[in-house]
Every structure is written in structure tokens, then in C-alpha cells.
Structure 1
Amino acid sequence: MKRIGLKASCVVGFDGTQHVLWRDGEVVFEGSRIEFVGRGYSGPVDQWIDYGNALIGPGFIDLDALGDLDSTVLTLDNGDERAMGRMGSAEYLAAGPRETYSAEEEVFKYRYAFTQLIRNGITTAMPITSMYYREWAETYDEFAAVAGVAAELGLRTYLGPCYMSGMSYWRADGSLAHHWDEPRGLAGLAAAERFFKDFDGSHGGLIRGALLPDRIQTCTPTLLQRTSALSRELDAPVRLHCCQALSEVAMVEQLRGTSPLGWLQQLDLLTPRSVLPHGLYTAGDDDLRRLIDGGASLVHCPLVFARDGEALNSFGRYLAQGVNFALGTDTWPADLLENMRHGLNIARLMEGGTALTRSLDLYNAATLGGARALGRDDLGRLACGAKADITVFSLRGLHLGPLFDPLKNLLLAGRGDDCIASYIDGRCVMHDAQVNGVDYPALQRQAQRQYEKLMRSHSDRAFARPDWKTLFQPAIPFADDYSAAAPLSAIDPLS
């Protein structure tokens, strides 16, 4: 194993308590572990790489990582979501839900998404995809292939097939209803257990297992109780989306007689193994105390909710009371820098000032907070003995403006694609902004073809099966019927 040394004008180190900034700093690692962070390393080094005016820092941890060709962006300014076929109608359910993609296309979407994550400086991911265009949920065989893609690209991932015991659908009168299939949910949990036992720690520890039930409102009590027991048995993290919609809160309160977090507490699913996106709608201080006492972590995804005019009421107040925050992208773009920027600005709008939330709080959530949520003290930091998960962000971009503080410049004006190099487990997976082994133009063309297939599927799920092109309105109206004559896949996005 070679001993590699990295140099840059700025290095984010870790002093055992907090991130600290080294000017003209160095990071030295051998194999998968960091040996030195600071300045003036005097030992032997096989190769020095000087990145010049750049910020070397820990890789970002994304615990609601976009693993999809994102469908949430299709709702942008397209009217009532009930009419556009994102969630299935009663007639679609009666006809029998079906897969939108082939098995190969399902795996491709992860290759595309994982490339995007690496490109944006994310080194550890717990991916999320939509179940709306699936026949039911994810499968063991699918995720065996996904693990291979992650290992090939070199992305550190926490994986497992999503499972659920119910699905939501729209009635003809516009009301929300739910279809349940308990045996199918329990079969999904069995597949998740099998995957965990087969793949946890595989590929040199790069692939870790996780239990990933869909959402609190699509899981029966039995499914969640057995998930809780299996999490204890395997010491496996559990990610469960909750407190993300008023309709969810109302449903849980009606069915279970308590708030979503109160229900999770009864099920013993508020523990240090619990990773909970999104936490927007909580029952006041009682729910916060449940979170804090249980040791569960919230995964904050500010961008996807801001698009719909929703926001966490106070990131800073929750943090001050002891809630551990991680960050997630959830939606396109897979850019945690953008989510940090939105998170900071939204928090200050919601809090009415600058006193409660600092820029560093969001950066900590993307690094140290994510590591804590995973129970990992070897991730999210550059320190001796930590994993060599390292990113390099260029500080040369004109868009960054005059430099006054490298991290603040990146949070104010940076983009994920300012990341020019990435090392995961000591392996260089991206150099000069090029993810190893990935043909960007070919990847983008395949994604474009596949995305049109996704858009066409909205017609099947909508009432009366309207022409799919009528469901998606451009921001500026077309001057002629060009949109109907030229399907999206006929337009080369790279030409």
C-alpha cells in the first residue's frame, strides 16, 4: 500500500472535538486510514499531490441520498398532484400496479445517481428512491446488483431493499385511501434480513446493511414491531420517513391514537439506530424530548420541502435542545452544498434572525452529524485513524467571489461540482472532476431516454389516463406543437 500525501491551501481537520482549519495543510493516508492531518509531515510519502487553492475536507454523508431519476421535480408548477398521476388512482390499483422500468433500468438509475453523489462530494450514502412507479417495493436481487454498482464506483453505502405493507392511492372524489397487504410487507422484511446477512461488511466494508421500511404510514404495526426486533438483533440502522406531511400525522393519530414520534416510541423505534427523515411536523416539545431521550437522529432535507412552501420550524432550536441532525439530498440535484445553503437561509427566515443557526451547523450535520447517526466515529472527519474518505473542493471558481473564508465561500456560492477529487476508503474514485470509469455523455443520454419512460407512466396512474404530455406544462408555453412532435428523448441533452 502506498502512503499518499495531499496538500492544499486549506484543510479541514478534526481536533477530537470539532472541525478546525489548517492553512497550507496536509493529509497523509495509507490504505484506508488517515495517518496525519496538519502541516509539515516529516515521514516518508510515496506520492504527494498538491491541489493548490482548494479545500480538502471530509467526505459528505447523505442519509436520504437521491438514488433515483427523481420524480419529485415533475410536480414543479404542474398543478394538483392528484391529477398528474404521481401517486396511483383507484382504477390504476384495481388494474394491478406494474413496474415502470425493466430490471436493468432499475439498476441503471442507481449507477446514474451514485455517479451524481460522488460528483458532488458525497462519500457515504443511504439511498432513497420512489415507490410510486413500482409494482410494490424493492427486491433482494435488485439490491444485490446495486451493491455491485456501489462497489464498482467506490461509493460507501448503507443498503437494503425498501419494504412496506401498504400503499396510498387517490379515490375518484380526490380523497386519500390506503391499500394493505401484510404478507407482502413481511416478505419484504425477510428479503431485507437476507440482504443484510449476505452483504453487510462486503466489498472490504464498503457496503453496509440497513433496514429501510418505506414510510410510517405505509407500514403496519406488525411490520414495524418486527423491524424493531430485527434492528436490535442485527444492530442494524433503521431509516423510516416520518413527520413529513400533515396527512401522515392525521392518519397516524387516527389509527394509533398518538403522534408519529409517539407511535415510534411505543414500538421502540426511537433509538440511536434510528435515522428519521424529515421531522417537519412534530407534536411540540414532547416529541422533541422523545427524540432526544431515545437518541434518534433527524435527517434534514430542506430543499425538497422548500419547493412546496414547507420548512422545519427551527433547525437551531432543535439543535440547541440536543437533536442530532444529519443531512439528505432526497431530491435532484444531489448537491449537499445547495442543501446547506437552503437550510441556513430557511432556518434564519423561520427563526426571524441569525442568532440560532450558524453556517457551521449545517456543515457539521453533513459530516459529524451523519457519522453520529450511523454510530461511526471514523467517518465525517479528517483525523488520525479515521477512514480516508476525503474530498477536494476547488476554490478557484470565479463564481465563488473573493475568498474571505473557504467554507463560507462554498456555502454562500459554491456548487457540488466544485468538488474536483474524491477519495473513499483510500481509493481515488474521482480525479479532475471525472468519476472513474464513467462515460458522462453516454450516462446522460441513457438517463434522458429512461426519464421519458418515467414521465409516460404518469398517464397510467392518473384518472382516465390522459395524454402524458398534457400532465407536464413548460414554464414558458411552447409557441407551436413542437413538444408533441419531438419527445424528450429525441433531444440530445449534450448537443
Structure 2
Amino acid sequence: MTSDFSQYLTLGKRPEGRTLMCAEWLLAYRDDSHHLVPNGELVIEQGEVIYAGPHFHGEVTQRIDFGKALISPGLIDLDALSDLDTYLLVTDNQPGWAKGRIWPRSYVERGPYEMYTPEELAFQKRFAFGLLLLNGITTAAPIASLYYREWAETVAEFDAASDAAGDLGLRVFLSPAYRSGSMVLVEPGQFDSSFDETRGLRGLEDAIAFIERQHGRHGGLVNGMLAPDRVETCTLPLLQRTMAAAQDLDCRVRLHMAQGAMELATMRKLHGVTAPQWLKDNRLLSERLIAPHATYATASDLRLYAENGVSIAHSPLVSARMGSTLNSFSACRNLGINVGMATDTAPPDMLMNLLIALITCRVSEKNSDAVRSAELFDAATLGGARALGRTDIGRLAPRARADISIFRLDDLYMTPSVDPITTLLTGGSGKVTQAVFVDGRLSMLEGKLVGIDMIAARHQAQRQFDRLIEKYPDRSWRHRTVEELFPSSYPIWK
């Protein structure tokens, strides 16, 4: 196995000339599906795939052998964490409403404020994008929490995010998230909705202007996607104008819905029906819509998704941590729903999410044959591409973009190895990602990225996160101390 790639590859650059890559396994696309190719060969030129298959008979400029590895289509993350994950704080600290996950009225009356500086907001996007690449993710639709924000995301931080994607070499679908309402904690476990229609519509206008200005930048790495926050924080006029704008811009819309008990109760209180039914009643369901989670979707809701072409962004790890699951991946697929994959938490490890998806599906169905590893790998590649309306990513075939992830198969902890896809799902993690190419450009090689020192950035991220935690009492119920909000897992012995 070649271990020194420096004579062929430079971080941040495309290989010169027509380049052939080979490995023990290649996952190539033909006849409408992925195929495993033993000792397969992939040929790229500039940002495009020229050939993917058993043996290439043409001339090439150079040949790169990755040895015992899988050359795979880059993974697609439809709900990719783009901040420092505050949700981890409530993993063992429940209920979430008492731990700063919902603003108490006392904080709202004093006036919410930004808890990060503009520089910190820009940094966390760049750091999060680096983590995605380290985990073999080549296409991402960023997601971040609004709980620590003044209201919604800003254009300035997304201008910085576009630059970060271009610098690091990550394909993104994005625009600033917006909303016309928020949930307010009035009593323990009791919430009210508070709406500001004008503010929501202004956020949509900013997002539209951002897409018109940024779409296509950095050689097509930056793509527009409208991102209204959560369905219970959006009014009907806001969503109607959002879907109309998506038609005009020819872009996708991601809207979180059917994902939690608070949302379900709020939607029934406000509208008398579930979120998918409300959107259907107002003719807002379409193939442009990506709906993360669906863990609280009813059978009727799922049928509406199937009938209207809605895609689900499946984030099994973050859902399972909180005790819920999609019911189920195989049931959704059997209905004809397109399912893509997402991480939506730290670590942004897609392979870990695929394993959790396999486990939760089989447990939900009480059937060890309910889903196969290949179906989940399809979701992380082809399903994500379909949700985004793209046929040139998520596959390795002639004329596709050269978005490639190379996963090592010689990791000690994955022994013995069987089928490479099954091996990666059951024993792998993002840590076995050896190299990532996006649009033919080398974005990551053996843990190194261009334009950011991830070791130094990790220390900066932790310091930034610690300062955020110090501010939690200000916006938490009864303003308890940090130690009371987030006690250690065991008593500290000093």
C-alpha cells in the first residue's frame, strides 16, 4: 500500500491531469444502483469522474493506490451540525426545558441577546465543516441551534460559512435559518408561542437575497437551500412565501417537523392537526421539502410524505439518545418515501449513524432482516442526492462530480473484515476516513485539512463552548447555577 501520497496529491488542489485511483474495493454506480468492484479503478479529471469500474484501458497521467481501502462516493449529510453541540448538555440532564432548551419568560422580557460574537459564529462554522470532512462527508446542509441566539441566524455568519466551505473544499446547501415565532416557558413543562410575523418575513427576504448572491460560488460548491427553523415557530404566510420562493429559486426547503412531543402538542393547539397534515391542507407538501427526523410522524403523516414526494432526513443517533426513533426506516422505504441520512449532533460520524439506523430499524420491526447495510449506505449517498435534487453527486459514475471518500479497511478494530460495506457499518467509524475529494480537489488526507489546524481549533472550540455554558443560567428556568443545571456524571472528589 502506498503510504506517501505527497508526490501525487496536495491538500486544497486537484491532482494534475487524468488521475487513476485504485483500492481493494471500489463502490461504483451502474444500472441504477451501487456495485462493489474488487480491485476497482476510478479515473477523475479536474472535478469530474471519467470512469469507475473493474479496469480502465485508457491512458492516465498518474496512478494512486490506496491499498486495503474502499473508494466510495462522498457521504451526504442533510442536517449537518454547524455549531458546537449544545444538545449534548441535556443528554443526562433532563428535562430539557429546565436546562435552557426553552427560553423562560423572564429571559424573553429582559430581551434575548447573541451569546457568541460574530467572530465566534464564523469560527464554529469553519470548525464544524472541518469535522464533517474528517468523517467522510462531502456534501452538507448545515444546521445549528437557535437557543443561544438573539433570534435567528445572520447573513454575516453565512457569508463566512460560504467562504469556509470554499476554503476547506466542502459542498454545501445553505442560507440563514429564520422563524416568525419562538416557544416561551411560562411554568414548569408549560409553553406558550410568541410570534413576530414581520421579523420572520424579513428573515426570509435575507435568506432569498443570500441565495441570489451566493449560489454557485466557489466553483459550484455553494448552493442555496431555504431553512425555516421548526414548523411550530413558523406562520402560514411565512411558509407559503418560503415554498413560493423555493420555486422561483429552484432550490430545496428543509423544515423540521414531526420530531417531538412539544411540537405535536403545539401544532394541535394552534392548528388542530399534525404538522404534515397542516402543510398538506395548505398545499405546501412537495418534493422540494426535506423533513428531518419524522420520529413523531403518524402513519397518516408518512402516507402524506409518500404521496407528495417529501424526503426524510434520518438522524438516528441524536433521536435514539433522547429515546425516539423513526418507525421505521424500512417502513418508510416500503411506502416509497425517499430517506436521506443526517448526523445533527457531535460527533458528526455518519458511519456511527448508519449503525444506529440499522439497530433501531431492526428493533422497531422486531426483525433481523428488516434492513440491510447497503440500503442505509444508499440513503447516505443516493438518498441524500435525491433529496437535494441532484443526480451528479452520491455516486461514482461517468459525468458525476468527483466527490469521493476513501475509508481504510485495515483498521485493527474492524478485524475480521467481511463485505466492506457491512464491515464499515458494524465496526467502522469516521476515524477510518483516509482521504476526501470534493469536486476533484483533495479536501482531507490522513486527518489533515487545508486552511485550518484542527488540533488548535479544537482547543479554541472548547474555550468558546465553556464561555457559552457560563451564560446558561441567564436564560434558564429560575436561573440556577451551571453546577445545578449540568451536574457531573459522578460526584467530584477534590
TM class, shorter-length: over 0.9
- Following TM superposition, by how much is the alpha carbon of 1:69 offset from its aligned partner in structure 2, in angstroms? 0.3
Contact 2:229–2:255 (Cα < 8 Å) also in 1: yes
- Equivalent residue number for residue 72 of structure 1: 87
Residues in 2 aligned to 1:133 and 1:63: alpha-carbon distance in whole angstroms: 22
- Equivalent residue number for residue 231 of structure 1: 246
- Following TM superposition, by how much is the alpha carbon of 1:441 offset from its aligned partner in structure 2, in angstroms? 1.8
Map 1:68-467 → 2, pairs under 5 A: 68-284=83-299, 286-467=300-481
Contact 2:176–2:227 (Cα < 8 Å) also in 1: yes
Residues in 2 aligned to 1:268 and 1:157: alpha-carbon distance in whole angstroms: 28
Deviations 1:367-423 (A, max 9, x none): 000000011111101111101000100011100011111111110010101001000
- Following TM superposition, by how much is the alpha carbon of 1:463 offset from its aligned partner in structure 2, in angstroms? 2.8
- Equivalent residue number for residue 5 of structure 1: 20
Residues in 1 aligned to 2:77 and 2:283: alpha-carbon distance in whole angstroms: 24
One-letter code of the match for 2:404? I
Counterparts in 2 of 1:253 and 1:86: CA distance versus 1, 3 Å: closer
Residues in 2 aligned to 1:266 and 1:124: alpha-carbon distance in whole angstroms: 33
Residues in 1 aligned to 2:188 and 2:388: alpha-carbon distance in whole angstroms: 43
One-letter code of the match for 1:445? H
Residues in 2 aligned to 1:275 and 1:457: alpha-carbon distance in whole angstroms: 33
Contact 2:77–2:341 (Cα < 8 Å) also in 1: yes
Q: Give SS of 2:220's match.
A: coil
- Following TM superposition, by how much is the alpha carbon of 1:457 offset from its aligned partner in structure 2, in angstroms? 2.0
Number of residue pairs matched? 479
Residues in 2 aligned to 1:274 and 1:326: alpha-carbon distance in whole angstroms: 12
Residues in 1 aligned to 2:309 and 2:334: alpha-carbon distance in whole angstroms: 15
- Following TM superposition, by how much is the alpha carbon of 1:104 offset from its aligned partner in structure 2, in angstroms? 0.4
Deviations 1:234-255 (A, max 9, x none): 1110000000012212221222
- Following TM superposition, by how much is the alpha carbon of 1:266 offset from its aligned partner in structure 2, in angstroms? 2.9
- Following TM superposition, by how much is the alpha carbon of 1:93 offset from its aligned partner in structure 2, in angstroms? 0.5
One-letter code of the match for 1:306? A
- Equivalent residue number for residue 488 of structure 1: none
Residues in 2 aligned to 1:82 and 1:263: alpha-carbon distance in whole angstroms: 26
Contact 1:228–1:268 (Cα < 8 Å) also in 2: no
- Following TM superposition, by how much is the alpha carbon of 1:173 offset from its aligned partner in structure 2, in angstroms? 4.1
- Following TM superposition, by how much is the alpha carbon of 1:464 offset from its aligned partner in structure 2, in angstroms? 3.2
Contact 1:2–1:31 (Cα < 8 Å) also in 2: yes
Q: Give SS of 1:364's match.
A: helix
Residues in 2 aligned to 1:103 and 1:134: alpha-carbon distance in whole angstroms: 11
TM-score between both structures, scaled by the size of structure 1: 0.95
Residues in 1 aligned to 2:336 and 2:169: alpha-carbon distance in whole angstroms: 33
Residues in 2 aligned to 1:79 and 1:212: alpha-carbon distance in whole angstroms: 28
Residues in 2 aligned to 1:235 and 1:428: alpha-carbon distance in whole angstroms: 29
Contact 2:82–2:142 (Cα < 8 Å) also in 1: yes
- Following TM superposition, by how much is the alpha carbon of 1:6 offset from its aligned partner in structure 2, in angstroms? 0.6
Q: Give SS of 1:407's match.
A: helix
One-letter code of the match for 2:421? L
TM-score between both structures, scaled by the size of structure 2: 0.95
User: Identity, % of aligned pairs?
Assistant: 43
Deviations 1:328-384 (A, max 9, x none): 101111001000000100110110012321111111110000000011111101111
**Deviating more after overlay: 166-175 vs 270-279:** 166-175
Q: Give SS of 1:203's match.
A: helix
- Picking from 77, 81, 85, the partner of 1:62 is 77
Q: Give SS of 1:326's match.
A: strand
Q: Give SS of 1:313's match.
A: coil
Q: Give SS of 1:231's match.
A: helix
Q: Once superposed, which parts of structure 1, at least 4 consecutive aligned residues long, lie more than 3 Å away?
A: none
Residues in 2 aligned to 1:120 and 1:76: alpha-carbon distance in whole angstroms: 22
Give the RMSD, CA atoms, in angstroms.
Answer: 1.2
Residues in 2 aligned to 1:57 and 1:260: alpha-carbon distance in whole angstroms: 36
- Picking from 23, 30, 34, the partner of 2:49 is 34
Contact 2:37–2:54 (Cα < 8 Å) also in 1: yes
Deviations 1:184-216 (A, max 9, x none): 100000000000100111111110011000000
Contact 2:130–2:454 (Cα < 8 Å) also in 1: no
**Deviating more after overlay: 458-467 vs 141-150:** 458-467
Structure 2 gap ranges (5+) = 1-15
Residues in 1 aligned to 2:47 and 2:254: alpha-carbon distance in whole angstroms: 27
Contact 2:25–2:40 (Cα < 8 Å) also in 1: yes
One-letter code of the match for 1:73? L
- Following TM superposition, by how much is the alpha carbon of 1:83 offset from its aligned partner in structure 2, in angstroms? 2.1
Structure 1 gap ranges (5+) = 481-495
Residues in 2 aligned to 1:248 and 1:76: alpha-carbon distance in whole angstroms: 19
Contact 1:298–1:323 (Cα < 8 Å) also in 2: yes
